[in-house]
Amino acid sequence: MESEPGRGSAFHVFFPVVPPAKPKTEAPVPGTIPSSSGRILFVDDEPMLVGLGQYALRQFGYETVALSDSREALALFREDPHRFDLVVSDYTMPHMTGTELAVEMLRMRPDIPIVLCTGFSASITEEQAKELGIRSFLLKPVSPVLLAQTISALLVEKERGK
């Protein structure tokens, strides 16, 4: 710090040079994700996440319909509630939250597994989500591998009749 009366002050901040960290690459570990199949409805209001979600889930073997409007997703689900094996939804969306969407879908089809993803957990807790009938609660950012493992586990559970 340098200071001179009537002229002002100057602060100099020095940071150590740290080499950049190597990015973690997250590749599926063989045997951790069973061969996958199923029809997934993926809903998020961010178009970039919709595209990434659809791409990632298709890479894991899922037939995926991805939408950025929760009202459109509900209308599609209403047309044929048995078209999908599982729903993945963001929590914070305009017009209808992920929990509101889940409640409406569960009214039509109580056995549909729903995964709720959120980046802001103060609005809803995992316990509150489960009380509504939501099967899984994931905090964003969600890795594609974790999402695929969660979906796979829920679909296996559903097949076993749990």
- How confident is the model over 55-60, as a mean pLDDT? 94
| pLDDT above 60 (res 28) | no
In 3-state terms the chain splits into helix, strand, coil percentages (rounded to 5) of 35, 20, 45
Domain residue spans in the chain? 36-159
Cα-based distances in Å from 127 to 87, 100, 124, 130? 19, 16, 8, 5
Q: What is the pLDDT of residue 21?
A: 56
| pLDDT above 90 (res 65) | yes
Backbone φ and ψ of 32, nearest 5°: -90, -20
Q: List pLDDT tens digits, range 104-152.
A: 999 999 999 999 999 877 788 999 999 999 999 999 999 999 999 999 9
Domain 36-159 falls under CATH 3.40.50.720? no
- Return d(Cα 58, Cα 66) in angstroms, integer: 11
